[in-house]
Structure 1
Amino acid sequence: MAQAILALGANIGDPTRQITDAITAIAAHPAIKLVKASTVIVTPPWGKTDQNDFHNAAVSIETSLTPEALLEACLTIEESLGRIRVEKWGPRLIDIDLIAYNHLELETETLTIPHPYAHERDFVLVPVREIAPDVAQWLVERGQTKP
C-alpha cells in the first residue's frame, strides 16, 4: 500500500461540513484507508484574494491506487459533492489535492507530485504538519531545492 497526503479546502456553502463529507467519501473508497485527519483551519485565500477565507484540512491515507487513479478518485469525489470548476484559484465547494505519494517525484500532463506549490502554502503545510510532520518537512526541503 502506498502512503499519500491529500489536502482539502472549501470556501463557499458550509466549508467545514463539505470537508467532513469529503473525508467521509475518501474513507469510504474501497481502495483507500484513512489513516489520520487534521483539524480544520481557516486561512485567507491564496492566488485570487477577493473571495471568502478558506477552511482547510489534510488527510493521510494508505491506498492501492496509482497516483493517477488516486487523482481521478479525488476528482470524482469532488464532483459527487457538487464541485464545478469555474476559475483557477476561485471559490469552491470542495477541493481535494494530491500533495504527496510515497515521497515520489512525478510530472505528467495531468499530475505533479509533490504538489508544486505545497511548500509555500501554509494552508497546506499547517494541516500536513499536524498529521505527518516528516512529509511536511520533506515538502519544504524539496521546494527549497527545486531549480
Structure 2
Amino acid sequence: MSRAVLSIGSNLGDRFGFLEQAVAGFAAELVAVSPVYETAPWGVTDQDDFLNAVLVVSAGLGPWDWLRRGQELENASGRVRTLRWGPRTLDVDVVTVDGVTSDDPSLLLPHPGAHERATVLVPWLDVEPDAVLPGHGPVADLVAALDVTGVTRRDDLRLG
C-alpha cells in the first residue's frame, strides 16, 4: 500500500464543485481531507483566487498511478493547459508518495516548490500535524517560516 499527499486547487468556474469532483474521484482511497482554503494566485497573479485543499490517500498504487489518476480528473473537469501557473478548473498535484524521490521531469517528487507554498502546506498541516516533507523537514516548521497572508480557511465549505 502506498500513501500519497495530493494538493487540489481550482480558480475557474464552480471552484468548489471541481474540488468535490476530485474528492469523489479519490473516495475509495481517502484517508483524510483537509479544510478548504481560499488563496491568492501564485506565479501568474493576474487571475482569480483559488480554492485549495489537501487529500491524503492510500492504495496499492505507485507514484505514476497517482499522477495518472489526478490527470484523468483534471481532464474530466475540462482543464486546458495554456499558461504555466495560469487559471485552471482543477489542478491535482502529487506532493509526496511514501517519501519517494524522483527527478523525472514528468513526475518530480516531492513536488517542486511545495516547501514554499502555503497553499499546500497549511491544509496539509491541518490533517497531519506531524507531517514531514521529504528533503525539507517538518511541515509545521515550513509553515512557520512562510508568510500566510492571503491564505484564508473557508469553514463554510466542507469537502468529504
Q: How does 1:2-81 map to 2 (within 5 A)?
A: 2-28=2-28, 33-81=29-77
SS of equivalent to 2:130: helix
Percent identity, aligned pairs only? 37
Aligned partners of 1:2 and 1:101 also within 8 Å: yes
What is the one-letter code of the residue matched to 1:129?
Answer: L
Aligned partners of 1:22 and 1:81 also within 8 Å: no
Aligned partners of 2:3 and 2:58 also within 8 Å: yes
* Deviating 4+ runs (over 3 angstroms): 136-140
Aligned partners of 1:81 and 1:94 also within 8 Å: yes
Higher helix share: 1
Unpaired segments ≥5 residues, structure 1: none
CA distance in 2, matches of 1:139, 1:60: 19
Tell me which residue corresponds to 1:107.
103
Tell me which residue corresponds to 2:80.
84
Q: What do the CA deviations read for 1:55-107 (whole angstroms, capped 9, x no partner)?
A: 00000000211111210111011111211111100000000000010111111
CA distance in 2, matches of 1:22, 1:69: 15
Unpaired segments ≥5 residues, structure 2: 143-160
Pairwise CA distance, 1:140: 4.1
CA distance in 2, matches of 1:121, 1:41: 13
Using structure 2 for the length normalisation, give the TM-score. Answer: 0.81
Aligned-residue RMSD, C-alpha: 1.9
